[in-house]
A and B are shown apart, each in its own frame.
Chain A
């Protein structure tokens, strides 16, 4: 066999191998998605989103309170973690070259790898115990801690990708660092930062363990952020381990709802923050 044919053959084999790997990686993903849709869809109805959970055997139970609860929890988490995380990201990309920057980066990386139940227990001892009760607030804070490193590190990376020419151009016009970051660098990195936030939201939307020790779950509509609150993953957990087929059906539909929620938030954020006329890229 000539060198050329040999090289062609190797090239072909490498190509095929890559394709096979991609397919192998994607199959479980689609399988899960299709499976969740298949199992969850039969239970999907309008009342699922408007009704409170019902005892087993009683028709018409839903997860309205849990859906609302999840949205509230994620909203609290976003409200807390986005300003802090973006702030930390700006610090890391613009000033974080020294020791302190490395320390912050290290902490963020450790935190993003920490098991979520640990974060839950941390908030439990820091918020739940002093406030003498489970609450939506503590649940939101636990999720915020989980979201923050993702937001901070992705913000940092996105800001670093903004070309130096733009920073220099702004500084050369007599802008200071703050103006440059705020008016040129941040807008240029907007989409990337949003993607980071979305990744964070998607991650915490499905978190269950930290909520067990903070938000706790509830059979009622949310009334106050200082009271326990229902969340879809908690409800799914409870239903999934129950022996009742109707609850198990509800668990599947709850799982599907989680996927839909993440998808919906993603779309809404993208529409709100889409390119305004005049903005490049």
Chain B
């Protein structure tokens, strides 16, 4: 029914995913194919399971006691919930930006170098290179090059969020998950992050949760609409916003509820 991407372009293939917090079910039979090098936006009212779904993609839900999952999530054809998958390796490939900027309480430099160091890069020159490249890609280099060794918590909220993106890019992930990355930011910082996201699309597969439908319309190629733990509809963003197939989608995007 939906204009789904071609099979060869699919990066993440989710089939009949159900998730339970203890006895409470939060996701119901979610099936979706996420295109590589595209931006997929997840929209829906509060509590509908967007964050929960996003966190299944890098198995962050594993950290919550009592979570149970059925169905499959394939990334490049491999089911990440199969027992042999190394979660640490998965999270390196599938990175995440959180709603509230969460730079570590260390210097700007150490924040960006954190991932590479964890994964074994010791060489000072190489680290310098990675830090500069990542900060440049996150459009933060000009603002921070003179204060690399200052505490990251001294940056503004918008800068902190871009730092978190830089920190993520430093481990060279393939997929970037973003959970309402601009909801704690002012309009100007939001705009900068949106530009950045559009820029990053060329090299990464991006899935972004947003409450802001204008944002979804502005940045994303595909949009998925969630309601009460179900995926109601997924389509090309322009299609979904102009010709929603489902009555519930239409009600939501026209602001009739939610």
Contacts and interface: CB of A to CB of B under 8 A. Distances in A.
Contacts of A172: 58, 60, 91, 95-96, 98
Given A173-B95, A280-B153, A281-B153, A183 B114 contact: yes
Contact of A278 (B115, B119, B151): B151
B60 A169 contact: no
Given A277-B107, A281-B105, A176 B58 contact: no
Contacts of B152: 280
Contacts of A169: 98, 102-104, 164, 167
A172 B150 CA distance: 24
Interface in A256-281: 277-281
B236 interface: no
Interface in B72-104: 88-92, 95-96, 98, 100, 102-104
Contacts of B151: 277-280
B105 A187 contact: yes
Contacts of B110: 278
B191 interface: no
Contacts of A279: 105-107, 151
A174 interface: yes
A163 B96 CA distance: 17
A12 interface: no
A179 B118 contact: yes
Contacts of A97: 65
A176 B106 CA distance: 19
A183 B105 CA distance: 10
22 contacts: A166-B105, A169-B98, A169-B104, A171-B60, A172-B98, A173-B118, A173-B167, A173-B171, A174-B88, A174-B89, A174-B119, A175-B88, A175-B114, A179-B118, A184-B104, A188-B105, A277-B107, A280-B105, A280-B106, A280-B151, A280-B152, A281-B153
Interface of A: 97, 163, 165-166, 168-176, 179, 183-184, 187-188, 277-281
Given A280-B106, A281-B153, 20 more contacts: A168-B60, A169-B104, A169-B164, A170-B104, A173-B115, A173-B118, A173-B168, A173-B171, A174-B89, A174-B92, A174-B115, A174-B118, A174-B119, A188-B105, A277-B149, A277-B150, A277-B151, A278-B110, A278-B149, A279-B151
Interface of B: 58, 60, 63, 65, 88-92, 95-96, 98, 100, 102-107, 109-110, 114-115, 118-119, 149-154, 164, 167-168, 171
